[in-house]
Amino acid sequence: MNNLLGQYQPPFGKILTAMVTPFDKDGAVDYDLAVKLANYIIDNGSDGLVLCGTTGESPTLTWKEQHDLFLAIKNSLSTKAKILVGTGSNSTSEAIEATKQACKSGADGALVVVPYYNKPPQEGLYEHFSMVAKAAPDIPLMLYNIPGRTGCNLLPSTVKKLMKCSNIVSIKAASGRIEEVTELRAICGSEFAIYSGDDSLLLPMLSVGAVGVVSVASHIVGLQLKEMILSFQNGHVSKALAIHEKLQDLFNALFETTNPIPIKAALVLLGWNVGSPRYPLTKLNDVKTKNLLEIINNLSLK
């Protein structure tokens, strides 16, 4: 793989937006607005979407809401972009059924998170992901390692074993450690696609072999992120670094409190009435909203 020259084509593109789920004033999923937002995101720098993940508030969506949301957006985008669906669960049987449904419905991939709360050992993680992969062999899978939320870390050695499943093709690395990319590449090789799970770490992770990002900030700065990636891959490192530095305040503000609280507030400030998160998440407080608005104005996003 020659990542610096941009010759390698990642399986899901370079920028995937982990999309929010819009809610109306009554707290119901606003499918029409979701379709409009999805098309806007794809027209502004993203190669694809991840629906019903952490940012999409999957813990408080019913399976029917998730399925209906996918169908609405898939029918709108057609083949215009890659669409991955979050199908992970701390129940292996539930993850299997959700992944099979995503495959049957025509998803381009599934994002399968490390089982949360029950903290399985590495042997259990291997069995969990293997069973999901074997139950839905026709859909490409992106593993999702985010120990800060799951309480459990998927080790590179386990990922290497899981590469025996031909449809496990990538991982969203969201441990907050740049070293995670280096460790994964050392043991899994250069053809296993590693995506940064943190906007603020995208450029450093690109420098050690990541192929792209599953992004929150790309809701509003997708074109800038695309320019940063292409600049880096074409050898214009100083330009990429300048964009990285310019966006740091936004990256920090979007994760100043629990995601997706800030990105939903940012979208509302920009005229997208996506509503507040569902409880137990709450909307962004006034002080943080004021700070976010100042950052948006400084970046001339409005």
Active site residues: 144, 172
Cα–Cα dist 183/206, whole Å: 14
Beta-carbon contacts of residue 76 (< 8 Å; ≥ 6 apart): 35, 38, 39
Cα–Cα dist 178/130, whole Å: 26
Beta-carbon contacts of residue 153 (< 8 Å; ≥ 6 apart): 114, 145, 147, 175
Beta-carbon contacts of residue 298 (< 8 Å; ≥ 6 apart): 249
> Which among 44, 54, 3 has a CA at the least distance from the CA of 214?
54
Show the CA angle centred on residue 297, arms to residues 296 and 299, nearest 5°: 65
